[in-house]
Structure formats: structure tokens, C-alpha cells
């Protein structure tokens, strides 16, 4: 059974069809990339899968269950995601930003009173272990608004990974970061795949996409114009035409 | 002795307004919800408790609990109605709510006696203990304010408090992490409603008189000024802001000024404090967050 299936998803804004009958299937344990020129509908499709936008037509099926009309927070038990422009909690420190990855049993009005720090200590150990692995060295007490752009990308990615998920959706994970952080992110994603994680990412950096992906979807003008393994996609004339504007 | 009574009175007023400022800090400072319904909710609390005390034989303890539940429910209903609204729009609707409550209190004369107000509201009584003297009221109100402060501190530093603050920073991002933002908003506005109605109860049963002007626009300005002065998202700041805004204008009484000047000077002092704080320390004295 596929992990995630999109069946003829369409979405229009005014008279413009941002996503036009897109169908795709995602299996477990692979890295998928969604590429295409600006305005191709990639982020709109991501937002439809995440539940930010409801599609006009089509179905989203997760492990055989239709989730098309689920709220964002209901889908969160299946998927984790990051954003093109990072969305960290700017007034919270790094510790609190990362602890939000975990669903605390004390997070309701009837149990918050019982909260003791022991629960958090266990989670902080998990966080520290992960941060050591990726050599993220900022102190926990720093506010999210005080860290650099690259660190903010890593913070958001860490939160998405540590949160329980079955599919990890990353919107331009290496856009605007320096080479060192780009390599760290590449390594993180490789390790996630080795651990059996399923990843769907949007990226404009073709070298990164071709290097890391198992399978690539290409969108242009709202349509899915090609799909396949990176080496096949690289030489697909349709892709060259739509993506690079080749004659 | 007179001077002691005066300080006890100031202390009681401080405890009542502390509840309103703490309530505002929970919704605006921690939750990022620009809730201007607080004076309306305080009026609801004050009228409910006063009318039940005057027109029924229910014990004060029961009236107290009923009023708090009603305050929570009204806050909860506001959250459902304003589900899609944030920022200025939420502020406008909740401000409208305060005016609706005020208008009802003023015009529903068969129930509230309108502008004539409700006199002879009894002092609080729990079981056989009648809270009568100024010092008893002072101790009782401080006990309540202290319990509320501890409750809010525990709430804010719990995982639930973390989600409340995350909602303030980014509603979409907290939804992506599996939290239902509407549930958090309902909780915040519900507790805020409960605390405001608590302030209303304490006010009415202390002064023994209530009219529709007891909580209004002036109180809203006071609450927000105290909150911005003390600093958003810090309950110590909320208390300090309230204290300073009560004490500083009161000091005018001891200056040899004509009485007609004192009232105007008080407003000038509020304005000056806000200008100074916004100029030199826009986050307030203890403030931690930047709402921009």
C-alpha cells in the first residue's frame, strides 16, 4: 500500500488553475522531490497536502484513509513539515521551540497541574542527542528571533524531524543557507532515509535534488509533467522544456 | 487609623485590578489575543453575583462558583464566535462585546435598575464566616489574588503554557505541530473570562454598589496601560504595572492642588507614563516579547 496518494487534485485561485489534476503516489522509505519553475504550483500542492488549503477537486489518501477534509492539526499526526520562509516561535527560546515537537501528556487543563520537570528532562536528552549529531551548538536559552537564518532552518528542520510523523515534507530546505549547513542538511536527510523515513521535498537546487532523491516529480503550470528517477528526469525533454525553457 | 483604612482601600483596589491585568496578560501577553472584552466580562461577573445575592437566598459560595462558571462560558463563547479573527479584528469585536454588555446593563432597567445602579450588595460570606471589615476583605482579596497568580504561573510554565505562547507567535506553525489552535484559544479566553468575572465579583461585593459605569473604557485604558508598563508576557510585570498606575496618580492627593486639577492630572500621568515607557523601553519593565 502507498503511504500517500493524491488523486486528481485541482485548485484554482480566481481564474488561474494553480494545481491541475495532479495525481501522485508516494511509497515508504524514499526521498521524493517536487521540482518545477516558479509558479508551477509546488507550494500550493504542499499546502493542500498539509491542509492549509482545501482542494476544489480530488482526494488525498493516507495509508488507505481519505484525509482530504482533515484539519491541519489532525493531519499533523501523519506529517511534519517545514516552510520556505522559516516559521519558528520567535519569542520562545530554542528549548521551548524544540520541546513543542513532543505531544506532552500534561498539555490539557486537567493535567497541567501535575506537570513535573522529569518528563521534560527525558525529552531534552533526545533533543540534545540530535543536536550534537548535527553539530548545532547554540545555547538553549537563545530566543528563536536571535539566531541566524541557517540556524533557524536547522531549528525548524529539527523540530519537524523530532515530531512524530510518517512523512516529512520540506519546502526548500537548503534555500539561502551556506555550504556547511547545506552539507549538514544533506547528511541529516540521508540518515533519515537509512532509518526508513519518507521525505517529500521542494527544492530549486538541482544538484541537491538529483543527488539526494530516489524519485522526482516535475510540475509546470499546475500540471505534473513528468516523474521518474533522477537520472531519467535529468534528460527528459519535457522537463528541459518546462524547467529550463529549452527549445 | 483613617490613613490605614486608606491604604487598605488602595490595597483592595490593587488586588481587584491585578486580576484584570493578569487576565489581560494571559490573553494578550501570553496568548497574543487582543481581548478587549474584559470590562464587559467583569460587568457580567459583577451583575450576576450582585443580582443573585440580592434576589435569591443562595449562599455566597454557590453564587461565587456559578458566576465564575458563567464568566468562563462567556469567554469560551467569545472564542467560538471570533474563531477566525486575530489582531485588530479580534480587538474590535471584543470591544463591541464590552459595549453590548454596558448597553444591556444600562437599559435593562427591570433587572439592573439601569443608571440608578444596585445598592446594598452584601459583603462576601463563606459558610459562617462573614467578611465584613476592611482588613478581612483585604486579606480575603489578597488570598484570592495570590492563588490566581500561582495558578497562572503554574499554567504558563507547563507544556500547556508553552503551547499558549506558541499560538501567540505563529498559529499556523502550532497547528502543524498537531495542536488545535481553537481549543487553545477557547481555553485562554475562557480563563480570561473567569478571571475578569472574578474581579467583577470582588469589586461589587467590596463597594456594595454597582452601576453600568463600574467597568468601562477607562478601565480598559488602565488595564492596557498597566500591562504595557509592566511588560507583556510576565505576570510580575502585570502586578508591578498595576501597582505603579494605582500608586503614582494617588500621590497627587498629597500635593496642595485644587481637586478639579487632580482628575485631569491623573489622566496626564497615565499618558506620560505610556509615552515614556514606549520611548525608552517599548517592551515594558519586565516585558519579554515583541508583538510586532
Contacts of A89 in chain B (CB under 8 A): 165-166, 169-170, 173-174
pLDDT tens for each residue of B138-152 = 999 999 999 999 999
**Cβ separation of A72 and B168 shorter than 8 Å?**
no
The answer on pLDDT for A245 being more than 70 is: no
Strands A199-202 and A167-171: parallel
pLDDT tens for each residue of B235-257 = 999 999 999 999 888 887 787 88
Q: Nearest CA to B194 among B78, B53, B23, B37?
A: B23
ipTM of the complex: 0.89
Residue that wins the pLDDT comparison between A53 and A104: A53
Of A96, A113, A163, the CB nearest to B154: A113
Looking at the complex, report in whole angstroms how far the Cα of residue B259 sits from the nearest Cα belonging to chain A. Answer: 45
Confidence at A51, pLDDT banded by 50, 70, 90: very high
Of B159, B165, B187, the CB nearest to A92: B165
Of B154, B166, B289, the CB nearest to A100: B166
**Contact (CB, 8 A) for A136 and A152:** no
User: How far is Cα B178 from Cα B137, in angstroms, rounded to an integer?
Assistant: 45
The answer on pLDDT for B109 being more than 80 is: yes
DSSP letter for A146, please: G
The answer on pLDDT for A247 being more than 50 is: no
Spatial CB neighbours of A22, under 8 Å, sequence gap ≥ 6:
A6, A8, A9, A10, A41, A45, A58, A219, A222, A223, A224
User: How far is Cα B29 from Cα B25, in angstroms, rounded to an integer?
Assistant: 4
User: How far is Cα B277 from Cα B116, in angstroms, rounded to an integer?
Assistant: 39
pLDDT tens for each residue of A63-110 = 989 999 999 999 998 999 999 999 999 999 999 999 999 988 788 888
Q: Which residue has the cell 485562554?
A: B188
**Cβ separation of B159 and A109 shorter than 8 Å?**
no
Confidence at A38, pLDDT banded by 50, 70, 90: confident
Q: Which of A92, A106, A164 to mutate against chain B (most B CBs within 10 Å)? A: A92
What's the average model confidence in pLDDT over B82-106? 92
Q: Is B70 helix (H, G, I), strand (E, B) or coil?
A: helix
pLDDT tens for each residue of B187-196 = 999 999 999 9
| Percentages of chain A per state (helix, strand, coil), in multiples of 5 | 35, 25, 40
> What is the separation, in whole angstroms, between the first and last Cα of chain A?
39
**Cβ separation of A109 and B187 shorter than 8 Å?**
yes
Q: What does the mean pLDDT of chain B come to?
A: 91
Contacts of B177 in chain A (CB under 8 A): 76, 100-101, 159, 163
pLDDT for res B291: 55
pLDDT for res B240: 95
Q: Nearest CA to A103 among A157, A162, A152?
A: A162
CA closest to A87 among chain B residues: B173
What's the average model confidence in pLDDT over B94-115? 95
A80-84, B200-204, B267-271: which has the minimum mean pLDDT?
B267-271
**Cβ separation of B176 and A91 shorter than 8 Å?**
no
Amino acid at each position: 500500500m502507498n503511504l500517500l496518494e493524491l488523486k486528481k487534485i485541482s485548485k484554482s485561485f480566481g481564474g488561474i488553475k494553480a494545481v491541475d489534476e495532479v495525481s501522485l503516489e508516494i511509497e515508504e522509505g524514499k526521498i521524493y522531490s517536487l521540482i518545477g519553475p516558479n509558479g508551477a504550483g509546488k507550494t500550493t500542492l504542499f499546502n493542500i497536502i498539509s491542509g492549509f488549503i482545501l482542494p476544489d477537486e480530488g482526494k488525498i489518501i493516507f495509508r488507505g484513509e481519505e484525509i482530504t477534509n482533515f484539519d491541519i492539526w489532525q493531519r499533523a499526526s501523519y506529517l511534519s513539515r517545514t516552510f520556505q520562509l522559516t516559521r519558528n516561535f520567535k519569542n520562545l527560546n530554542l528549548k521551548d521551540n524544540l520541546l513543542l515537537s513532543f505531544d506532552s501528556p500534561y498539555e490539557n487543563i486537567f493535567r497541567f497541574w501535575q506537570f513535573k520537570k522529569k518528563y521534560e528532562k527525558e525529552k531534552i536528552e533526545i533533543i540534545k542527542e540530535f543536536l550534537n549529531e548535527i553539530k548545532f551548538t547554540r545555547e538553549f536559552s537563545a530566543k528563536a528571533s536571535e539566531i541566524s537564518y541557517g540556524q533557524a532552518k536547522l531549528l525548524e528542520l529539527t523540530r519537524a524531524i523530532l515530531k512524530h510523523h510518517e512523512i516529512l515534507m520540506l519546502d526548500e530546505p537548503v534555500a539561502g543557507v551556506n555550504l556547511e549547513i547545506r552539507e549538514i542538511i544533506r547528511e541529516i536527510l540521508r540518515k533519515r532515509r537509512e532509518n526508513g523515513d519518507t521525505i517529500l521535498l521542494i527544492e530549486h537546487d538541482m544538484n541537491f535534488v538529483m543527488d539526494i532523491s530516489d524519485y522526482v516529480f516535475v510540475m509546470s503550470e499546475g500540471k505534473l509533467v513528468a516523474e521518474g528517477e533522477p537520472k531519467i528526469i535529468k534528460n527528459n525533454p519535457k522537463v528541459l522544456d518546462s524547467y529550463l525553457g529549452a527549445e | 487609623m483613617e490613613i490605614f483604612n486608606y491604604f487598605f482601600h488602595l490595597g483592595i483596589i490593587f488586588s481587584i485590578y491585578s486580576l484584570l491585568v493578569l487576565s489581560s496578560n494571559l490573553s494578550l501577553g501570553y496568548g497574543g489575543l487582543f481581548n478587549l472584552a474584559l470590562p464587559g466580562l467583569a460587568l457580567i461577573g459583577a451583575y450576576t453575583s450582585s443580582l443573585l445575592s440580592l434576589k435569591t437566598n443562595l449562599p455566597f459560595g454557590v453564587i461565587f462558583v456559578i458566576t465564575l462558571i458563567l464568566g468562563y462560558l462567556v469567554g469560551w463563547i467569545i472564542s467560538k464566535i471570533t474563531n477566525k479573527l486575530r489582531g485588530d479584528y479580534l480587538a474590535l469585536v471584543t470591544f463591541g462585546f464590552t459595549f453590548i454588555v454596558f448597553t444591556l446593563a444600562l437599559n435593562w432597567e427591570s433587572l439592573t435598575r439601569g443608571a440608578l445602579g444596585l445598592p446594598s450588595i452584601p459583603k462576601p460570606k463563606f459558610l459562617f464566616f462573614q467578611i465584613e471589615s476592611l482588613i478581612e476583605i483585604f486579606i480575603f482579596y489578597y488570598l484570592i489574588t495570590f492563588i490566581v497568580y500561582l495558578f497562572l504561573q503554574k499554567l504558563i510554565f507547563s507544556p500547556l503554557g508553552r503551547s499558549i505562547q506558541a499560538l501567540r507567535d505563529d498559529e499556523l506553525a502550532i497547528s502543524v505541530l498537531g495542536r488545535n489552535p481553537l481549543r487553545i484559544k477557547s481555553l485562554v479566553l475562557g480563563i480570561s473570562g473567569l478571571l475578569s468575572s472574578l474581579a467583577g465579583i470582588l469589586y461589587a461585593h467590596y463597594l456594595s454598589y454597582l452601576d453600568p459605569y463600574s467597568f468601562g473604557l477607562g478601565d480598559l485604558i488602565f488595564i492596557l496601560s498597566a500591562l504595557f508598563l509592566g511588560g507583556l508576557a510576565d505576570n510580575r510585570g502585570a502586578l508591578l504595572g498595576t501597582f505603579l498606575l494605582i500608586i503614582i496618580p494617588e500621590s497627587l492627593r498629597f500635593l496642595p492642588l485644587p481637586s478639579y486639577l487632580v482628575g485631569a492630572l491623573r489622566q496626564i500621568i497615565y499618558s506620560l507614563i505610556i509615552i515614556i515607557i514606549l520611548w525608552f523601553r517599548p517592551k515594558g519593565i519586565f516585558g519579554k516579547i515583541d508583538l510586532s
